[in-house]
Structure 1
Amino acid sequence: MTEDTHLAAGLDAFDFLATMVLVVEPDGRCLFANAAFEELLGLSRRSVLGESVMGWFVDPGLFKEVLTAVARNDFATSRLQGHLRRHLHGTHGAGEPLPVQVIVTRLGPGIGQAQRLLVELVEVEQQTRQEREDRAQDQVQANKELIRNLAHEIKNPLGGIRGSAQLLEMELENKSLTEYTQVIIHEADRLQALVDRLLAPHRRPHVVGDVNIHEVCERVRSLILAEFPKGLRVQRDYDTSLPDFRGDREQLIQAVLNIAHNAAQALCDRIAAGDAVLTLRTRVARRVTINRQLHRLALVLHIEDNGPGIPPAIRDRVFYPLVSGREGGSGLGLTLAHTFVQQHQGTIECDSEPGRTVFRILIPMP
């Protein structure tokens, strides 16, 4: 067994990391690359072993200087910002540079006294996304507690108001005045329905069984087309190799339906013009970090529309309760969707611009 083979065998644990890890010599020759490197850059590790890593950087000058300095032991470790060339055709786009934070650490001499350097490549986008997820998680949790407490406080006096209005209506001699008591009763019922929706995720038991995501998508598709039979095309783009997973089928149908229904309502102008498109797309993702946990496999469901996009003023708050970009909207559909997906240890991301809005649901799979 060669020295490089010994090295690779000892570094297999790095394949379980979501960040890219390389082991290189001071001149940049690659001795090891982990699985995350292969997937994110679209390069086979077999094709890069023994090759210089300098060509992977858009501007390799500073990286070369840092490698040399760390190898000389000027620093035990050093950090820099860089951009990697990508070859992956798919979600990241071919050839689009990937901004990364580069951490170079001195490993010490190898078996043959050759200097070895450990290079970690952390996506800047990944760091930003994780920080955003953490902030959103804290905010959603605080909002859920606030809304739940508020709903309970409203619920009891609301029943008293409705009951008093009914009693008053029975005592009125002038029946023309019942118009006013009916307004009170109607508005009390409307608020009661709102409170029930706010409390729904905490009341309903989590019923777990085998779930096929495409059955969920087809159910949502049929419901959307029944409500919007003309002017809206609902496209399917399924990865049929996706296996079943354990989850609450009804909750997932409701989550996907809430997002798809919001999208369809936002497409009203395009529906009138006859060119509205809603796309349901399923994929599998490997080595995905969700809520700070690394998962070997995850389901990815995209719900995409060609509507006007989410207003910038609420784009960062679309999952907050009572936030709506549509006049007359309750602002609860996306909140409930987010809650149901969270109960599956998943998350929802949103990317929106005029002409294209994509909600991306990620759910870990065994």
Structure 2
Amino acid sequence: MTISDALHRLLLDNLTTATILLDAELRLEYMNPAAEMLLAISGQRSHGQFISELFTESTEALNSLRQAVEQAHPFTKREAMLTALTGQTLTVDYAVTPILANGATMLLLEVHPRDRLLRITKEEAQLSKQETSKMLVRGLAHEIKNPLGGSRGAAQLLARELPEESLRDYTNVIIEEADRLR
């Protein structure tokens, strides 16, 4: 069973993973729509452009790509910072796979954006901290409320036992402050 070029193209065009194919000189051969969306550039207009004209990362990354072509050695990079032509900085993971085609080595880049995942992880951690704080405050309020009720009750009993009405001013202050704190 042979799969036609049109079917290959259809499959690549419908992937949600950003996929970029570079020739041996690190010039763009193909970019699927997911890569176009991620980098905010047109694959057709960018065809033949050098990789650093599409996005920039670092000199070391460019050297790693050249080395991948020369040695046909695949590699993966985690949390790389790409700067798109628009100036937007993207945090991505990408895998580079050398492919031998017509006697030349091409590079297949699979790019996975991490910004959204990192933001979700950060928000989840923040929600967890808020929940922990809420539970701590509830526990603290409970621990304060119980002895406060005991102090209020003791002040009421003491007020009944006091011989002079003027001394009850002090117990009334205790009762009022306990009510206010509660």
| TM-score category, normalised to shorter length | 0.5 to 0.7
Match of 2:21 in 1: 24
**CA 1:172–1:5 in structure 2 vs 1: closer, same or farther (change >3 Å)?**
farther
Question: 1:178, CA displacement in angstroms?
Answer: 3.2
Match of 2:144 among 140, 154, 158: 154
Match of 1:65 among 53, 63, 85: 63
Match of 1:168 in 2: 158
Does 2:182 align with 1:185? no
Task: Check whether the contact 1:82–1:100 (CA below 8 A) recurs between aligned residues.
Answer: yes
Matched residues in 2 for 1:162 and 1:65: separation?
A: 75
**CA 1:159–1:11 in structure 2 vs 1: closer, same or farther (change >3 Å)?**
farther
Structure 2 matches for 1:191-230, cutoff 5 A? 191-192=181-182
Select the structure with the greater relative contact order (CA < 8 A; seq sep ≥ 6).
2
Task: Check whether the contact 1:73–1:106 (CA below 8 A) recurs between aligned residues.
Answer: no
Matched residues in 2 for 1:182 and 1:165: separation?
A: 8
Match of 1:84 in 2: 83
- Structure 2 counterpart of 1:31, one-letter code: M
Question: 1:184, CA displacement in angstroms?
Answer: 2.0
**CA 1:190–1:167 in structure 2 vs 1: closer, same or farther (change >3 Å)?**
same
- Structure 1 counterpart of 2:157, one-letter code: L
**What secondary structure sits across from 2:73 in the alignment?**
coil
Match of 2:16 in 1: 14
Task: Check whether the contact 1:168–1:181 (CA below 8 A) recurs between aligned residues.
Answer: yes
Question: 1:45, CA displacement in angstroms?
Answer: 4.8
Match of 1:202 in 2: none
Matched residues in 1 for 2:10 and 2:58: separation?
A: 25
Match of 2:34 in 1: 34
Question: 1:106, CA displacement in angstroms?
Answer: 0.8
Matched residues in 1 for 2:137 and 2:176: separation?
A: 22
CA offsets, 1:196-241, max 9 Å, x none? xxxxxxxxxxxxxxxxxxxxxxxxxxxxxxxxxxxxxxxxxxxxxx
Task: Check whether the contact 1:28–1:64 (CA below 8 A) recurs between aligned residues.
Answer: no
Task: Check whether the contact 2:13–2:33 (CA below 8 A) recurs between aligned residues.
Answer: no
**What secondary structure sits across from 1:14 in the alignment?**
coil
Question: 1:34, CA displacement in angstroms?
Answer: 1.3
Question: 1:118, CA displacement in angstroms?
Answer: 2.2
Structure 2 matches for 1:288-327, cutoff 5 A? none
Matched residues in 2 for 1:186 and 1:8: separation?
A: 77
Question: 1:160, CA displacement in angstroms?
Answer: 2.4
Judge which range, 55-64 or 176-185, deviates more.
Answer: 55-64
Matched residues in 1 for 2:47 and 2:122: separation?
A: 38
Aligned length: 174
**RMSD of aligned alpha carbons:** 4.1
- Structure 2 counterpart of 1:32, one-letter code: N
- Structure 1 counterpart of 2:111, one-letter code: E
Could you tell me the percent identity over the aligned residues?
Answer: 26
**What secondary structure sits across from 2:166 in the alignment?**
helix
- Structure 2 counterpart of 1:186, one-letter code: E
Does 2:47 align with 1:50? yes
Question: 1:117, CA displacement in angstroms?
Answer: 0.8
**What secondary structure sits across from 1:22 in the alignment?**
strand
Task: Check whether the contact 2:99–2:107 (CA below 8 A) recurs between aligned residues.
Answer: yes
Question: 1:132, CA displacement in angstroms?
Answer: 4.2
- Structure 2 counterpart of 1:187, one-letter code: E
Match of 1:100 among 91, 99, 102: 91
TM-score, normalised to structure 1, is 0.37
Question: 1:55, CA displacement in angstroms?
Answer: 1.0
Question: 1:116, CA displacement in angstroms?
Answer: 4.7
**CA 1:77–1:175 in structure 2 vs 1: closer, same or farther (change >3 Å)?**
same
